[in-house]
């Protein structure tokens, strides 16, 4: 049973560049979440997919951020025109959507550093 996989693990880029991260959830999981974690803080919710539908976006997700899950499997998170404040760990999680609560399982994240 493979866990949530994220790629790349680390990304260093110059301010103003665009970056894209990929998340592969656990295979049978239909729900996928993106979170952002800064140093010394807990993860903060960014957005949520059920299958291919993006059902919720946090106010943290500015217009420069876009997320997709085109076939209800893997997801991508793109940040355009990166800023210093975008430096963070971007975490992906997945869960099996049922009528009862199912735990969210996290990947090891992509650490973004903006020079």
Partner 1 sequence: QQQVKQSPQSLIVQKGGIPIINCAYENTAFDYFPWYQQFPGKGPALLIAIRPDVSEKKEGRFTISFNKSAKQFSLHIMDSQPGDSATYFCAAHDRGYSGGSNYKLTFGKGTLLTVNP
**109 vs 38, 90, 98, CA distance in Å?**
12, 5, 25
Residue whose CB is less far from partner 1, 82 or 104: 104
For residue 59, the minimal CB distance to partner 1 (Å) is 12
Total residues contacting partner 1 by CB under 8 A comes to 32
28 binds partner 1 (CB under 8 A): no
The torsion of the CA quartet 24, 75, 27, 33, rounded to 10 degrees, works out to 100
Contact 87, 12 (CB under 8 A): no
The binding site for partner 1 (CB under 8 A) comprises 4, 6, 31, 33, 35, 40-45, 48, 50, 55-56, 58, 91, 93, 95, 97-109
């Amino acid at each position: 049973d493979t866990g949530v996989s994220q790629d790349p693990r680390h990304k260093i880029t110059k301010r103003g560049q665009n970056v894209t991260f990929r998340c592969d959830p656990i295979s049978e999981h239909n729900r996928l979440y993106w979170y952002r974690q800064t140093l010394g803080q807990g993860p903060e919710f960014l957005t949520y997919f059920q299958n291919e539908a993006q059902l919720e976006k946090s106010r943290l997700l500015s217009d420069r951020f876009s997320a997709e899950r085109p076939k209800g499997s893997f997801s991508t998170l793109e940040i355009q025109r990166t800023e210093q404040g975008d430096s963070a760990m971007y975490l992906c999680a997945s869960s099996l959507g049922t009528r009862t609560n199912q735990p969210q399982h996290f990947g090891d994240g992509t650490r973004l550093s903006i020079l």
